[in-house]
Amino acid sequence: MIKVGVVGGTGYTGVELLRLLAQHPDVELKAITSRGDAGVPVANMFPSLRRRVDLCFVDPQSADLGSCDVVFFATPNGIAMQQAAELVAAGVKVIDLAADFRISDIAEWEKWYGMKHACPELVAEAVYGLPEVNREAIKKARVIANPGCYPTAVQLGFLPLVEAGVIELDNLVADAKSGVSGAGRKAETHILFSESADNFQAYGVAGHRHLPEIRQGLSRFANAPVGLTFVPHLTPMIRGIHATLYGRIKKDVDLQALFEERFAGEAFVDVMPKGSHPSTRSVRSANMCRIAVHRPQGGDVVVVLSVIDNLVKGAAGQAVQNMNILFGLDETAGLGQIPLMP
Ligand SMILES: NC(=O)C1=CN([C@@H]2O[C@H](COP(=O)(O)OP(=O)(O)OC[C@H]3O[C@@H](n4cnc5c(N)ncnc54)[C@H](OP(=O)(O)O)[C@@H]3O)[C@@H](O)[C@H]2O)C=CC1
Ligand SMILES: CC(=O)N[C@@H](CCC(=O)OP(=O)(O)O)C(=O)O
């Protein structure tokens, strides 16, 4: 059994990790942290986990993380980078759901995240955990930077087009909508029910911190610089991201075949039949990205629709997928959930 620690077990991605890990055949949960709720049984806070998780939260300072095989950080940005080096030195694998190890350019990271990086040397060796691109490197990683939610939906949607040189790279557009759980469980005015329900709003148009992450990924796929306009929106649903992606076609290829071939054999990317409009509900609670590719009126613009559950393929599910790859398990172990309908 793989001994697992979760730092940040009281948050949304933390409890989602617990839901998935508690059903995983090869995992033993050893430590789940909370600063404010240390000593409280996990199942008291989350009755959905009654009879599945019998641990109490422990304070992160006193948690025995060094005896785990892998530790997930489901914490705000800037926490994992303070503890990763010590864990790695003790032979513990680290999977960070936050952004501490996602951006190779430290100055760029410090600019967008507004803090000094505590551990730049590990950024250089960390592997960006997008399995559909980096599977081989993930197998050997000591630190995995789990991708952001928007970056997962946007990169997977653009991947076949950018890799194959099918679209112009100077002016890609990603118009993305997220459910409110994307903002986490901490109290903030803009995510109050009376502010976010029956409402719809763009934000971060001038620059969102996922912009450099997406741009870095797309530039690597293309092996060339990429121009991207990224506009996120908050939409009144709990879970889900819907990304609508636009690019100008420069090479006339069978787009449906391109997508089907690129993702053939991928358990967690579903290329839908031609003409489809994937819904966020079709991936709710599942580790899945569903994609449809369109060429409206046969023109020179390609439109890709990419949907994920932000908490699963956009966070905890992808983190478990990375753990499976890292430990040589079946990549789908513990990730067989079928989305909830309705
Ligand atoms: N929500 C989403 O859809 C996605 C989130 N992410 C990223 O995952 C991370 C977690 O997000 P999310 O679960 O939404 O956030 P939440 O705000 O819901 O939870 C944050 C968790 O971190 C713990 N925590 C906060 N500060 C510290 C600290 N200084 N030391 C140790 N633990 C701490 C909190 O627990 P306590 O206060 O009890 O200690 C809580 O359990 C973030 O970096 C986020 O950006 C990534 C992809 C998608
Ligand atoms: C709806 C909402 O607020 N979403 C969050 C992004 C989600 C997230 O958790 O960001 P990371 O993946 O980088 O950690 C935001 O825009 O800040």
DSSP letters for 235-269: -SSSS-EEEEEEEEB-S---HHHHHHHHTTT-TTE
Ligand 2 is surrounded, with C-beta below 6 A, by: 98-99, 148-149, 178, 182-183, 210, 232, 234
* Residues contacting residue 132 through CB under 8 Å, at least 6 positions apart: 156, 159, 263, 266, 268, 269
Q: Which of 12, 19, 72, 75 to mutate to test the pocket of ligand 1 (most atoms within 8 A of CB)?
A: 75
Taken in order 177, 179, 183, 187, is the CA torsion positive or negative? positive
What is the pLDDT tens value at each position of the chain, 342 positions in all? 999 999 999 999 999 999 999 999 999 999 999 999 999 999 999 999 999 999 999 999 999 999 999 999 999 999 999 999 999 999 999 999 999 999 999 999 999 999 999 999 999 999 999 999 999 999 999 999 999 999 999 999 999 999 999 999 999 999 999 999 999 999 999 999 999 999 999 999 999 999 999 999 999 999 999 999 999 999 999 999 999 999 999 999 999 999 999 999 999 999 999 999 999 999 999 999 999 999 999 999 999 999 999 999 999 999 999 999 999 999 999 999 999 988
Domain ranges for the chain: 2-125, 150-310
Active site residues: 149
Nearest atom of ligand 2 to the alpha carbon of 315: 12
Angle at alpha carbon of residue 206, lines to 211 and 171, rounded to 5° = 60
* Residues contacting residue 297 through CB under 8 Å, at least 6 positions apart: none
What is the SS3 assignment for 199? coil
The two three-digit tokens of residue 213, written as one number: 């992450």
Tell me the whole-structure pTM to 2 decimals. Answer: 0.98
Counting ligands in written order, the one closest to the CA of 210 is: 2
For ligand 1, the distance from its centroid to the CA atom of residue 100, given in whole angstroms, is 13
Q: What dihedral angle (degrees, nearest 10) is formed by the CA atoms of 145, 127, 320, 265? A: 130
342 preceded by cis ω (within 30°)? yes
150-310 topology per CATH:
Dihydrodipicolinate Reductase; domain 2 (3.30.360)
Counting ligands in written order, the one closest to the CA of 185 is: 1
Write down the residue that tokens 């095989």 correspond to. 69
Taken in order 7, 310, 3, 130, is the CA torsion positive or negative? negative
Taken in order 124, 125, 129, 131, is the CA torsion positive or negative? positive
20 neighbors 335 (Cβ within 8 angstroms): yes
The CATH classification number of 2-125 equals: 3.40.50.720
pLDDT for 342: 86
- The amino acid present at 305, given as its one-letter code, is L
